[in-house]
Chain A
Amino acid sequence: MAEAPLQVVERDFGELAMHMGPQHPSTHGVLRLTLRLRGETVVAADPGIGFLHRGVEKLSESLGWEQLAPVYERDDYVAPTFNSLGFCVAAERLGGIQVPRRGAWLRTLTAELTRIASHLVWLGTWGLDLGGALGGGTTLYMYCFREREKILDWLEAHTGTRFHTNVNLIGGARYDLTPELARSARVLMNGIEAAIPELWGMSGDSSILRDRTRGIGVISPELAQAVGVTGPVLRGSGIAFDVRQAAPYDAYPELQFDVPVRREGDAFARFQVRMEEILQSVRLVRQILDGLPRGPIFTRRPLKNPKASKLPAGEAYAAVESARGELGFYLVSDGSWRPYRLKIHAPSFANLQVIPHVAPGLLVADLVALLGSLDPVLGDVDR
């Protein structure tokens, strides 16, 4: 049996062809960037993905509707709740299923907490990328993860697991909120809000970070729209589009929040957008805790026999605003107990596409900063 085929990289004389390979501390997962370098400057960057492809879309065609919601939490494994939430919203839109208000608000609560946790991961790992595992980056990383641990502990008290919490059902939320959990959630939010200035002081106030991210990886609004980037990357380029306000779902029509937007389009702008999103999420969680309605939390009890629940035939597209951007589900159903075709619009997939357009001219160190500011999760990209 022959070896796997080698990749041939065309390059000019004087260029170094290098793989910032699937095994690398800073590619945020198994991403292979085939680089052509002239010295330290990137001439061309070609992202190669698929190392984490698990065939989730194929799997969706053989599992029942109720069984599928937890599966998608493994896609974007840093902000897991959004994946199952997107699927549930899409399935509810397809089947015309009403979600009770309390269930909708509880889903939004876990979603916003997951957004904060995901942004803390992003900030900590960006610190590692920029500062190195043997230096100041690790300090920022440790502080971010300390705050995130408190969120994960709260999620464990609420749902039983820290991470793939499985709270979203088609037709509501799975776990209810007790008064003690509500009280501890308020304390948690106070702690997060108090920690943000400290984290900002370690990152945004640092002139080293500003020098390394200002003007790096500028994505113009036209390029952003043509390539289809989404989330904080889109809002960092001046386009004020947030699915929570454009196509509201769950509790968002009734909640007040701002969507941060920046015009510069560089890595520092995306950083500022995400930091402000953390504060807006804190504000949202407090509103949810204050105004949580009473009532049931789901309308459809999860059935034991997956073949028993059917959704009507048709097509639907629904999106949620994940921590990374617009996470959309294009659902095609033929009326049976499982989907006919399910396509996931993964925000990291769309965001990574911009790299060949933006990377030429950057130094290798800037490429690492750019990747961190795009915040890809390879589970999301490859599905």
Chain B
Amino acid sequence: MELLRTLVLSVAVLGTAMTIVAYLTWIERKVAARFHNRVGPYYVGWPHGWLQPLADVLKLIIKEDLRPRRADALLYELAPVLVVVPALFGFALLPLAPGLAVLDHPYSLLLFLAVGSLALLGIFAAGWGSHNAYALLSALRSVAIAVSYEIPMILALLVPALLAGSFRLDDLVQRQTGGAWFIFAPVLGQVSFVVFLLAMLAEANKSPLDVVEAESELIAGYNTEYSGVKFALFYAGEYAHTLALCGLAATVFLGGYLGPAFLPGPVWLVLKSLALFVLVLWIRWSFLRVRIDQVLRLNWRFLFPLALANLLLAAFFAVRTR
């Protein structure tokens, strides 16, 4: 019975998540278009192109499945899977209602971060296995960035865990009832959120910190040699990873499924995640790209000390109030 319940729930969550991921591309194109004073997708699914994601997915599925002659077969074929699965795993951990998540684990926050880091392996496998100099450069950059920006991300997320006394995501949400969202916590909430936001931009490869797939320098980065379904997996994986991180931020900082009763909890979670996603888009479409050594310098000279100081302050505060 437990198994059946988990199965049904995971199918529901996964299905919803992937549909939202598909329409995230539509949201991105529309939001970007408004920033550029133009309309965006319009004719496919007239008006306003709401069938555009379907058209894109169908096009990618019917393309030829190719592999460069000298690419490493195992790494090349395995990489898209390694990128998509950790992102999807994140959706299983997010609490949808009090006590309800596909996987309700006492250390779900740490599990989310740990499994999410596996995506780096996929990116590097793609970069190395493609036998392409541009992909290799991109893979090198992604290793440097993912490893570096994990640290402030974890330090920023440790602060609410420290103040809540638990690593379970549902406990973190429960501590934010009554409108006391963590982002409103004086100093600690805002600093943690900003650090997490910057780290999320780097991890999810969004401008201004998107050196990994810097289109103007490295063609398409690690997925230069990919097309068809494998490219669709990378593409969806990137959006899924972003959405999962936005979902995590919504859960930890913005109260997750909490909200006025006229909408059910999961809907609130989705709305907050989408709001954060639009914020990420706003940042993405407004700024030029920071160079790789400047990205790393930003991390080690600014974000890491800031996150560390923030954690120390939180520890001090936690001891004082216990």
Residues of A within 8 A of B (CB): 16, 18, 24-26, 37, 39-40, 127-140, 142-143, 146, 203, 206, 208-209, 211-212, 363-366, 368
Contact = CB atoms under 8 A, between A and B. Distances in A.
B207 A134 contact: yes
B288 A212 contact: yes
Nearest to A129: B216
Nearest to B141: A40
B36 A136 contact: no
Given A16-B133, A134-B207, A208 B37 contact: no
A135 B217 contact: no
A275 B294 CA distance: 26
B216 A133 contact: yes
What is the predominant secondary structure among interface residues of chain A facing chain B? Answer: helix
B156 to A, nearest CB: 23
Interface residues of B, number: 33
Contact of B211 (A26, A365, A366): A365
A258 to B, nearest CB: 29
A137 B292 contact: no
11 contacts: A18-B134, A128-B216, A131-B208, A132-B215, A136-B208, A138-B32, A142-B37, A206-B287, A212-B289, A365-B217, A368-B216
B292 A363 contact: yes
Contacts of B289: 130-132, 135-137, 208, 212, 365
A365 B285 contact: no
B140 interface: yes
A365 B291 contact: yes
Contacts of B134: 18
B133 A139 contact: no
B145 to A, nearest CB: 12
B137 A364 contact: yes
B175 interface: no
Nearest to A131: B288
B293 interface: yes
B19 interface: no
Nearest to B28: A134
A39 B288 contact: no
B239 to A, nearest CB: 12
A132 B210 CA distance: 9
Q: Which of B211, B218, B292, B294 has the most CB of A within 10 A?
A: B218
Nearest to B133: A18
Contact of B214 (A39, A132, A136, A206): A132
A135 B293 contact: no
B146 interface: no
A169 to B, nearest CB: 39
Given A18-B134, A40-B141, A136-B285, 7 more contacts: A40-B292, A40-B293, A134-B284, A135-B208, A203-B288, A206-B288, A368-B216
A212 B134 CA distance: 21
Most A C-beta atoms less than 10 A away, residue of B35, B207, B208: B207
Interface in B165-187: none
A287 to B, nearest CB: 31
A248 B233 CA distance: 60
B166 to A, nearest CB: 37
A138 B291 CA distance: 17
Contacts of A131: 207-208, 216, 287-289
B288 A130 contact: yes
Given A25-B216, A132-B214, A135-B210, A142 B288 contact: no
B293 A137 contact: no
B216 A130 contact: yes
B12 to A, nearest CB: 31
Contacts of A208: 208, 287-290
* Interchain residue pairs A-B with the least CB separation, the first 10: A135-B207, A131-B288, A142-B36, A18-B133, A136-B287, A26-B216, A365-B291, A208-B288, A129-B216, A132-B215
Given A206-B287, A208-B287, A138 B216 contact: no
Nearest to A24: B219
A136 B140 contact: no
A37 B211 CA distance: 17
A199 B35 CA distance: 14
Of A134, A211, A212, most B-chain CB atoms within 10 Å: A134
Contacts of B208: 131, 135-136, 208
A136 B215 CA distance: 12
B214 A365 contact: yes
Interface in B121-138: 133-134, 136-137
Contacts of A143: 36-37
Interface string B101-140: 0000000000000000000000000000000011011001
B157 to A, nearest CB: 26
B292 A135 contact: no
Contacts of B215: 25, 132-134
B151 to A, nearest CB: 22
